[in-house]
Amino acid sequence: MAGIHSIQHEQPGKAAGILSGPLASVVTDNGTLGLIMELSGKLQTTLDLDSLIELFAQVMQSQFDYDTLRYQTADQELALKFGKRAGRNKLNYDLSVLDTDLGAISLTRGRKFREPEIQQIENLLAALLYPLRNALLYRDAIKSAFIDSLTGVKNRTAFDSNFSREIEYNRRKESDLSLIVLDIDLFKRVNDNYGHIIGDDVLKQVAQNIEETIRSSDALYRYGGEEFAIILNGTDMSGAMLLAERIRRNVASMQIPSLKDDQVTLSLGVATLNPQEDSSNLFERADAALYEAKDSGRNRVVSAT
C-alpha cells in the first residue's frame, strides 16, 4: 500500500516535502528494493533513537554524497546532526505515520540533488518510518516510567536509578556532590482544608517553582507525597545551602489564590558527600537534617552534620 508524499521545489537548490505511510515512493528496480529490504532489517535491530538515526545516516552516506543530515523530533527535545558542514542545497522532509508526527529530516550538500536521487532518498526514508515510530514510542515509554505524572518532574524510580550513579561519576571526577531533601510544611492541612484537587495544584506549582530556581545541571525528583529531592552535581555545602535558601524564599513568596491567605513553606535538609560515603548514608544525613528543620520550627534550611 502506497502512502502519500509530495515534493515541492520552493526555490533552486531546495525541496520540501511530507513523507508518510509504509512506502511513500514507487520502487523502480530490484536493486533499490534490495537496498530498502536490507536497510529495513538493519533499522529493526535497535529501539534506541540516537542509534537508529545514526545507522540511517551511515546507510544514506554509503548511497549519496551529502554534507549534513539532521534529524529533530516533533517535540524538539532531541536534535541530531551528522556531518561537519552544511551545503547550500537542501532537502527537507516532515515524517509521519497514521497522522503521528515523527519529526523532520534534512539533508544538505554543495551541489543540487538530482530527481533520481530524490526518488531514492524517499524510498530509503519510507523504510525508516516504522522503525522510527517504534523508537519514539519506546523513548516515550521509558520517559513515562521515570516521570511523575502529576508534577512532571522525575520520580522516585528515577532517583533510585540515578543517585548512586551520580555519586560514582562525581567521585571519579573528584567533584563535589550535594543533596537537598525537602518537604512541604503542613501539607496535610492543605488537603484537609481545601481538598485534594487544590493540594495537587499546590504540588505542581511548588515543583515548577523549584525547577525554575535550580540550575540545568541539577536534577529535581518527587520522592514521595509532598517530599522532593534535588541532586546537585559539582556543588559543595556552601553552594548547596545558598541554593536551598533561595528555593525556600521563592516558594514562601508564592501567591496561590486558591489557598486564600495561607502560605506554602518548605523545610529543607542539605548534605554534601563525604569520602567513602554511599548513597544510603548521604540520603539519611540529608533526611535527618530535614526533620531537624521541621522540629525546629519549619520554613528553614538545616545542614547535615
DSSP state of 216: T
Tens digit of each residue's pLDDT (9 = 90 or more) over 41-66? 889 889 999 999 999 999 888 888 89
* Euclidean distance between CA atoms 284 and 196, whole angstroms: 29
Mean pLDDT of the 143-159 span = 94
How many percent of the chain have pLDDT more than 70?
Answer: 90
* Euclidean distance between CA atoms 66 and 70, whole angstroms: 11
Place of cell 548511497: 63
Mean pLDDT of the 270-281 span = 94
* Euclidean distance between CA atoms 96 and 44, whole angstroms: 18
Tens digit of each residue's pLDDT (9 = 90 or more) over 238-271? 999 999 999 999 999 999 999 988 999 999 999 9
Catalytic position from the list 77, 166, 226, 245: 226
Tens digit of each residue's pLDDT (9 = 90 or more) over 57-103? 998 888 888 999 999 998 888 899 998 788 889 999 999 988 889 99
Helix (H, G, I), strand (E, B) or coil at 238: helix
pLDDT class for 18, splitting at 50, 70, 90?
Answer: low
pLDDT at position 65 is 86
Query: Beta partners for 180?
Result: 230, 270
Domains and CATH numbers, the chain: 5-143 (3.30.450.40), 156-303 (3.30.70.270)
- Sequence-ordered list of residues with C-beta below 8 angstroms from that of 127, at least 6 positions apart, any chain: 36, 39, 40, 43
- Sequence-ordered list of residues with C-beta below 8 angstroms from that of 99, at least 6 positions apart, any chain: none
Mean pLDDT of the 194-210 span = 97
226 included as an active-site residue: yes
* Euclidean distance between CA atoms 205 and 228, whole angstroms: 13
Least confident piece of the model among 89-93, 182-186, 290-294: 89-93
pLDDT at position 15 is 41
Between 233 and 24, the higher pLDDT residue? 233
Between 24 and 273, the higher pLDDT residue? 273
Between 1 and 53, the higher pLDDT residue? 53
pLDDT at position 99 is 82
Mean pLDDT of the 2-18 span = 37
pLDDT at position 184 is 98
pLDDT class for 9, splitting at 50, 70, 90?
Answer: very low
DSSP state of 147: B
Q: Is it the case that residue 22 has pLDDT exceeding 50?
A: no
pLDDT class for 303, splitting at 50, 70, 90?
Answer: very high
pLDDT at position 38 is 81
Output the nine-digit C-alpha cell for 29. Answer: 528496480
Average pLDDT score, the chain = 88
Helix (H, G, I), strand (E, B) or coil at 17: strand
Mean pLDDT of the 141-157 span = 93
pLDDT at position 87 is 80
pLDDT at position 239 is 97
pLDDT at position 13 is 38
